[in-house]
Amino acid sequence: MQPGRVQFQDNQFTIPGEDGKPGTTIEIPPTLLITGMGIVPNINQCVTSDAKSPGNHLVLVGACNNAMGGSHYQQLFGTPTGGDPSLPRVDLDLGPKTAQAVHKLIKAGLVGSAHDVSDGGVLVAIAEMLIGGSSTTETIGFQSSGSLDVVACFAQSPSCYLLEVTDPRLVIKALGEIPCSTLGVLTDSGSLCCNEMCVGIDQLTDAWRSTLDWS
């Protein structure tokens, strides 16, 4: 792709047939593809999204709000009580400041893993971190430190991040005026526990991967 040009990705996949028979083609409409590239001066400072260690804390960073427009939850169930049905808006002042603050924390070695809050909201982001950090022999879980309502769990606010840290007080102090809060702690339970709900990582993994199982 040449700089300054827009590219559309043709999304088509063919499942091979058996015994030489024609396969099944799965196709969706073309998708706008935007590619961003950057220089990483020190690869050792790269942070992945998989949760690393029980005992670490998850800190939510950014001005997460109650706008539910366009969210997966709204598409499935409508706007919940306390939610705003309108689309979330990007704060062009606070958004870049939040990203820069997270970058500084990573450069300082204060972040074990990081995940953006995107499709599905905070609870889905946590689930993906736990799935990525678990294996068949060792699983990692999460226990929320307080009650999270439906909006807090599933709103897809822009410019929000989940950070795995060892010392949340130090991180919160370093963030200064950037909105943030501690959500809970990573455990060795192998379950995501929030409010009165606990779901095993094996169940989450099956649900996450089932959409990729086209056999």
Q: What pTM was estimated for this model as a whole? A: 0.83
Examine residue 147 and state whether it is found in any structural domain, yes or no: yes
Examine residue 173 and state whether it is found in any structural domain, yes or no: yes
What residues make up the domain containing 131? 46-210
Contacts of 214 (CB under 8 A, 6+ apart): 13, 15, 26
Examine residue 15 and state whether it is found in any structural domain, yes or no: no
Q: What is the DSSP letter of 69?
A: T
pLDDT band at 213 (very low <50, low <70, confident <90, very high): low
Strands 141-144 and 191-194: parallel
Mean pLDDT of 3-19: 64
pLDDT per residue over 170-205, tens digit each? 999 999 999 999 999 999 999 999 998 999 999 999
**The pLDDT value given to residue 9:** 54
pLDDT band at 40 (very low <50, low <70, confident <90, very high): confident
Give how many domains the chain has, as a whole number. Answer: 1
Examine residue 37 and state whether it is found in any structural domain, yes or no: no
* CATH number, residue 100: 3.90.650.10
pLDDT per residue over 87-120, tens digit each? 999 999 999 999 999 999 999 999 999 999 999 9
**The pLDDT value given to residue 27:** 82
Contacts of 179 (CB under 8 A, 6+ apart): 61, 62, 63, 64
Alpha carbon separation from 78 to 81, 125, 147, 176 (Å, rounded):
10, 21, 21, 35
pLDDT band at 11 (very low <50, low <70, confident <90, very high): confident
